[in-house]
Homo-oligomer: A and B are copies of this chain.
Amino acid sequence: MKKFKKLEPMDTGSLVDKVEIRLLAFFKENNLVPGDAIPKELEFAESLGVSRTVVREALLRLRTLGLVESRKHRGMILKQPDIINNFSRILDPTLLGEDTLKQLFELRLILEMGMADFLFENRDPKDMKELEKIVEAEEANSPGKIRFALDKEVAFHGKLYQMSNNITLQGFQNLLLPVFEYVYLKETKNEDFDDYHFSGGKFVTHRMLLENLKVGTPETFRNAMRRHLEPHFDNAFKKNGIK
């Protein structure tokens, strides 16, 4: 029997998908940078041999992603994509599966453990004073308590993200907030969780983290932060009996 050459699978991607990929490749090959004008819809359609409708839809996608923008009387130009804005529309906890939520919460733990060097590098008197005020406000409202309301948690940890001096990281934190709140509220529904926080008296408070940031090193701060986040780590690792 005659040996046939392998029949390659059909390429079932839509024409718009293909045009989108071709346009991105075109920008790259021509070394276009943000601010550069790009050819008109009609020119693309003629070069690619496809309808204007297809090109328009592909360009619309790129506009949705913030990669191109229309300028009055100037046609379209390439744009530096806003990573954070792009993310913000899709990060609705109610639309994300449990697995993704868990992973994003773990990502928060990783970020807060990892940012110590940047906090020590960038801390300045003004920020330290603001952090001090945040801690004082907490203590005034919840004397003797170790656990604070969600808004206090967000105020303290949000300030740390801000002090990291990395706008992409801050933006990331801002848009992950709904996810953190969602997981936090789930955790706190469990009554065991409050008991846990008080166990052994070794819990590291926001006050202790603040003092550490004043006189410690990135290394001592990381260890303190690890203790502070202990209940969340144990939750992630299913070690605290919380279901």
- Interface residues of A, Cβ cutoff 8 Å to B: 24, 27-28, 31, 33-34, 57, 60-61, 64-67, 78, 80-81, 83, 86-87, 89-92, 94-97, 99-100, 103-104, 106-107, 109-118, 121, 164, 166-169, 172, 218-219, 222-223, 226, 233, 237
Contact pick for A113, options B60, B67, B113, B166, CB 8 Å:
B113
Provide the residues of chain B in CB contact with A78, threshold 8 Å.
95
Nearest CB on B from A128, distance (A): 19
Total copies of this chain within the assembly: 2
Provide the residues of chain B in CB contact with A33, threshold 8 Å.
94-95
In the complex, the answer to whether A90 meets B81 with C-beta atoms within 8 Å is yes
For A169, the closest partner residue in chain B by CB is B107
Provide the residues of chain B in CB contact with A111, threshold 8 Å.
110-111, 114
Q: Known: A31-B94, A60-B57, A117-B113. Contact between A166 and B107, CB under 8 A?
A: yes
Provide the residues of chain B in CB contact with A104, threshold 8 Å.
168
Provide the residues of chain B in CB contact with A117, threshold 8 Å.
109, 113, 226, 233
Contact pick for A226, options B97, B112, B218, CB 8 Å:
B218
In the complex, the answer to whether A223 meets B219 with C-beta atoms within 8 Å is yes
In the complex, the answer to whether A67 meets B91 with C-beta atoms within 8 Å is no
